[in-house]
Amino acid sequence: MPSVSVIVPIFNGSSYMPLFFDSLAAALPEGAQLILVDDGSTEPVWDTVPEMPRAGSVDRLVNETNLGYSVAVNRGFEVATGEVIVQLNTDLVLRPECITAMVELIARERDAGIVGSKLIYPTTNRVQHVGMAFGNFTKHRVFYGLPPGHPICGRSREMHIVSGATVAMSRRVLEAIGPLDEAYFNRNEDIEHCMRAVKHGFRNFVCADSVAYHWRSQSGPARFARIIEGDSLFWARWGNECRPDLGRFVDEALDDVLSRFPHLEEVPFQVLDLTRNADQSIVIERLAARWPDACAQPLEYRQMNHAMWSLWLPLLVPHRMAEEATPFIYLVDGHRELEENFLWFEARRRVVPDELIVDSNAVAMHTSELHR
């Protein structure tokens, strides 16, 4: 295995860091260089760091004030000596194979750029991240909310962009794309790094065998201090180079559901559009390639001013639709918006045996799978 440097930027988080460091002690490759960067914490974070017997060395760096993720990671880059450089957030619980799986993928794929992990919510055991895709106007976390053991989430795949919560790259890639841009402050610096890697001819990946549980956005108010500025900077720089690739993941999801329910290809569906995002046209286009009649005139009940996360269908669509003999494809922003509709779907199955849910994160499922 190539030599490895692991960079861990730290800003507070004393409540969850013991979980992180316990998992890191088991996941750290033997002899790895561990670089800890305290980015101006106001808590006694060093008290949470245990002995790391597998580490070849441990470097502790300190920023006197909170300068942000980019600055902290870049300080780590400056002292990293490994052939592979890994970045880890502290609001993680790593599976033992998390780091080595990324390193092994880099060793296999000579043109690998930035490699990310499969991230799972520790609260729900649902997929948080297996890569991101561009829509026409936004970024989407593909296959978001699926069970981590779902076959579609078990494949390593090339991705345009991955989350910086857990990433690895070779020294060759880092030297080509340079450090993180310090104009960003805890927003989109990881995405820009991915864009730079692609521009230099590398291929980014999500490694399905690299798994971590991610609490997500736990570093306090500083995490959200410059969201608007970070988004504005990213889209101003890269908007013209972001090529929508959401459609290919929608196709992959539809292939998957049709492999399990092949008879659905012949079902005369009608699209019921309940989305609120700006990219539903991409999903409808992919649905139309398989069920053109279903998409000819979608029924639109888009709840643009609906404040609730859950969509309660009996209160959103005309009552008569519960008895409609035409089977629906429910098009939503996220499939879990429909979880609080048990009685609706129970009633619908008495009318039609087969309906589909498709969302803007490239999840497709038979309605019978929603409450499993």
Domain ranges, ordered by start, for the chain: 4-241, 246-369
User: At the topology level of CATH, where does 4-241 sit?
Assistant: Spore Coat Polysaccharide Biosynthesis Protein SpsA; Chain A (3.90.550)
More confident residue, 216 or 49: 49
Give the tens place of pLDDT for each residue, 183-210. 888 889 999 999 999 999 999 999 999 9
**pLDDT (0 to 100) of residue 278:** 84
Which of 27-36, 112-121, 232-241, 278-287 has the lowest average pLDDT? 232-241
**pLDDT (0 to 100) of residue 54:** 97
235 pLDDT exceeds 90? Answer: no
217 pLDDT exceeds 90? Answer: no
**pLDDT (0 to 100) of residue 231:** 84
**pLDDT (0 to 100) of residue 219:** 57
218 pLDDT exceeds 80? Answer: no
227 pLDDT exceeds 80? Answer: no
Mean pLDDT of 248-277: 96
Mean pLDDT of 294-317: 83
**pLDDT (0 to 100) of residue 87:** 98
**pLDDT (0 to 100) of residue 125:** 96
216 pLDDT exceeds 70? Answer: no
What's the chain's average pLDDT?
93
- Strand 166-170 relative to strand 328-332: parallel, antiparallel, unpaired? unpaired
**CA-to-CA distance for 290 and 105, rounded, in angstroms?**
34
223 pLDDT exceeds 60? Answer: no
Residues above pLDDT 90, as percent of the chain: 84
130 pLDDT exceeds 70? Answer: yes
Give the tens place of pLDDT for each residue, 45-71. 999 999 999 999 999 999 999 999 999
Residues above pLDDT 70, as percent of the chain: 95
**CA-to-CA distance for 83 and 150, rounded, in angstroms?**
33
277 confidence band (pLDDT: 50, 70, 90)? confident
**CA-to-CA distance for 177 and 13, rounded, in angstroms?**
30
270 pLDDT exceeds 80? Answer: yes
104 pLDDT exceeds 60? Answer: yes
27 pLDDT exceeds 90? Answer: yes
